[in-house]
Amino acid sequence: MLMEPYQYRCLDESILLPFLKKYVFSVLHRCIPYGVPANYLTLVSIIVIWSCFLYLIGVNTPDDADIIIVFFAITIYVIFDHFDGLQAKKTGTGSPLGEILDHYSDVFNGSIILYLFFRILQIELGWIFYLVIWANLVAFTVTYLEQSIRKELYFGKIGSLEGVILILIILGSLMTSQGKYFWLKYTMFDVPLHTFLVIGLILGVIFTVAGSIRRLQHLPKTLIHYFLTGALLCLICFYYQISWYISFLVINVYSADLILKSMKFHLLDAENPKPDLIVYMLFLFLIFQQFFEYEIQIGFLVYGLAVTTKVVWEIGQIFYKLRTYWIWWNMH
């Protein structure tokens, strides 16, 4: 059951959102019929970005057509990701179900966008990829852990929206020969340009974590536990050269588990969020692997699928509890 009557509390200080909301999102949103539920718009954004993700997995070397596909897929995702909030406000149908569907899907969608970006820039899916995915998930986890404590969602001046817009600008420039040369071949101090983008992301995560700790006025033990264990998990994935898709799964679901627990604690009568403990079984597996000839890749895959099953089960329970908030069609 809900802890208290639902009220969406969010402080968004994004530097781009006011402009985009006034001149882009709100203008385009006028084309959406009143009867369309906000959750349908969220589902459109999810389907588009996941379809692009599955498509690009099957592409060996992205070409010019793939750049255009990814550009428009991310553009549609961003637009519909903001349409749902506008529609919920317009129709007065904001709900905890909509909040979880919207914000929780963004956790995975953010990782997918980074994957698409790496593939288009032809960056090897190695340790830099793991680092970027992990840093992005740390920012998400800190944000929702803070929400579970302060009961208010906070987005800083430079956040995910600004990052996605930067990615779209770079993708747009890649449609020109000059842009291709600049981003794919040009170096600064013999360092590829994407390295500076990674540094910028890391700095952004540091500011996000520092800002959260400042607002909370303490460093939650859950965050320390999550960060140390998750960082070790990323290092192990790189050390054992785990396949990128298994590492992608493992790193994402480890963070997604804690984020979902934080949302449940905030919106439902649930227990305090704590990091996943199944990961320690994976660590034990790696210790025993030194004495027995186990296939390491399989161990990571089993862990990823186990946590995925756990997360899917919990999502199903949440949707069942909040099923009364599902709207098939808005009536005037």
What's the CA angle centered on 180, arms 179 and 182, to 5 degrees?
A: 60
Q: Which two tokens stand for residue 322?
A: 């909040």
121, 11, 107, 130: which is closest to 56 by C-alpha? 121
Give the residues across from 10 on adjacent strands.
Answer: 153
Inter-residue contact 268 to 209 (CB < 8 Å) = no
DSSP H or E stretch at residue 107: helix 96-120
Inter-residue contact 70 to 56 (CB < 8 Å) = yes
* Spans of the chain below 50 pLDDT: 1-3
Q: Look at residue 2 in the predicted model and tell me its pLDDT.
A: 47
Q: Look at residue 4 in the predicted model and tell me its pLDDT.
A: 59
What's the CA angle centered on 195, arms 194 and 199, to 5 degrees?
A: 115
Q: Look at residue 8 in the predicted model and tell me its pLDDT.
A: 83
| Calpha distance 290→287 (Å, rounded) | 6
Q: What are the distances in angstroms from CA 302 to CA 126, 149, 226, 288?
A: 21, 32, 20, 16
pTM of the model: 0.93
DSSP calls for 33-45: -TTS-HHHHHHHH
